[in-house]
Amino acid sequence: MIKKIVRCKNPEILVITPLGIGDKISKETKKSIKRNKTPFEWISYMGDNNPAKNVQIAYKQYRRDNEGLPPYVIKMDGDITASRYMLDKMYKTLKEAESHVAYAYSSFEFKGSINIKFSNREFDADLLKRSNYISSCSLIKTQLLDQIGSWVVDDKYFRLLDWCLWLKFLKHGFTGKAVQNTHFVAKSTPKSISCRSREDYTEKYQHVKNDFISPLLHA
């Protein structure tokens, strides 16, 4: 079921937070995301699917209920702390970007069970084919998301679903844009997907390589 966290009459951005059964959005996330000026509506959807599938369900239901969508959408995890005006800066960057730019992304870091920083860098298609450096928490043009057929939601890629999405955009000729001077911090717990085994990563990576990377390399 969809729950509305922030209501807005004419939103520019739709924020969607996918939740597992029993999960909650942290106070830090609510506080930090509300520190933006761009009009946005924020919804959450709780289900026993993977996060991308929960986002897709919420996205489709929101469209049906509202007879349309805001021009931008972002998947927002419920355990992050965003720097002030993060959405505003993403929105400005994407709105001013070239037509082939489908999404805007920022630097980020994990703190907790895993501690690692991903510094922001300009979009690099060759690097993206080798490894993922872009977070799922990125602002996307809804028109282009619909054009490529929405999120990748198959469980066989679970853990690397965000990477699949950026590769899917690349396959259709779309790129991303780095947003400067903004970032977010995500909590990492033993239950986090990133804390799964190396064997699990290798299995999921092989699927991504076969289905997304290899076709791009041989196009």
Handedness of CA 157, 13, 108, 175 (dihedral sign): positive
Cα–Cα dist 182/102, whole Å: 19
Residue 195 predicted with pLDDT over 70: no
Write out pLDDT tens, residues 175-189.
999 999 999 999 876
Write out pLDDT tens, residues 17-28.
999 999 999 999
Into which CATH architecture does domain 2-217 fall? Alpha-Beta Complex (3.90)
Domain boundaries, the chain: 2-217
pTM of the model: 0.94
DSSP string spanning the chain?
-EEEEE--SS-SEEEEEEE-TT----HHHHHHHTS--S-EEEEEEE-SS-HHHHHHHHHHHHHHHHTS--SEEEE--TTEEEPTTHHHHHHHHHHTS-TTEEEEEEEEEEEESS-EEE------HHHHHH---S-S--EEEHHHHHHHTS----GGGTTSHHHHHHHHHHHTT-EEEEEEEEEEEEEE-TTSGGGS-HHHHHHHHHHHIIIIIHHHHT-
Please give the structure tokens belonging to residue 201. 């990563």
Of the candidate ranges 14-18, 141-145, 182-186, 196-200, the one whose mean pLDDT is the lowest:
196-200
Write out pLDDT tens, residues 63-104.
999 988 999 999 999 999 999 999 999 999 999 999 999 999
Write out pLDDT tens, residues 152-165.
999 999 999 999 99
Whether residue 189 contacts residue 195, with contact meaning beta carbons closer than 8 Å, is answered with yes
Residue 193 predicted with pLDDT over 60: no
Strands 80-82 and 2-6: unpaired
Residue 198 predicted with pLDDT over 90: no
Residue 147 predicted with pLDDT over 80: yes
